[in-house]
Chain A
């Protein structure tokens, strides 16, 4: 049990895909203008990571090395289609506002990265835990950025009004550049002061 917990902690925090390896930030930037979108996106990525990790690890001995990228992509794409269909059926509003970014989970480098680095070499259940961990770390980053952007941009959180009528939304927070700045500041805080103090 302890080993499972360790795998989770490592892939979620110590080796976090976003701030340690700078992977998968395309979608991290695009959906973070609203908390709700980020949460749904994060859950979709966790689902895909966990199940594709499980499947790829299960099949790892049968996939020929030369075409493994292709096979992995197809496995990931099948799970992404499931996520997309579920969203379209039960949450059509969210699905519409996420637009093509759900489908772009396929090319999210985190999933490919975990498949290559972990699922290809480890047991199915460990890979699943690793996938959940990596997805959790990713969702955490999304939610932190979305928290700041939605709070300052609209004065709301999850669509509920927090800051009241007196607040004037900062339109820069809704526009694209703020996402770049927020992520850069997040990386700066985590990699700079937090990491050096630990040493």
Chain B
């Protein structure tokens, strides 16, 4: 409980990377990582949405669901909050920054069904984080996801023209690359530990 919020932030990026150790957000991770540019856009969008939805979901959980004693509705409420936030962000960006809309806009609808976003909100309830810890955990996870997808996209561009055995092309190869990346990230595990 009394973990320094900054430690959680670092741990969420490196040692407990939401993608490489908790396997969340794999679907869009594998399908969007063909090019560096598009994965940059998606990574930024995930970071942005994740940071804000964890904050909102924390407030909703502790000030609405707990007092009213309807914790069992948390999944539905969380997914509604996420969907509504994504919709809102889309409209605001479209109105005020067309340039940003064209780089981020197409990825925003994808994010509603990204399990990493919902997963982070569920983890903060299970691990009983306070507000600062939750927000930093959300932001750290977003950055961790961003780093992972960017690295995979970079590697996939390099191996694009290499010879790959039949059946291993596409998803199979991406999974093996991700596995090696996960192994590399285990190297960080001595720095900090959170559960």
**Residues of A in contact with B (beta carbons under 8 Å apart):** 22-27, 29-30, 69-70, 73-74, 77-78, 80-81, 84-85, 99-100, 103-104, 106-109, 112, 175-181, 183-184, 187-193, 195-196
Contacts and interface: CB of A to CB of B under 8 A. Distances in A.
Interface string B165-186: 1111011110110111011001
Contacts, number: 121
Interface residues of B, number: 42
B165 to A, nearest CB: 6
B27 A80 contact: no
Contacts of A26: 23-27, 115
Given A176-B182, A177-B179, A180-B178, A29 B26 contact: yes
A37 to B, nearest CB: 13
A30 B126 CA distance: 17
Interface string B66-81: 0000001101100110
Interface string B144-181: 00000000000000000000011110111101101110
A73 B182 contact: no
A188 B172 contact: yes
Given A30-B24, A99-B126, A190-B167, 5 more contacts: A25-B23, A30-B22, A73-B79, A107-B113, A177-B180
Interface in B11-38: 20-27, 30-31
Q: Which 6 A-B pairs have the closest CB atoms?
A: A192-B167, A180-B179, A100-B122, A184-B175, A191-B167, A29-B23
Contact of B114 (A25, A107, A177): A107
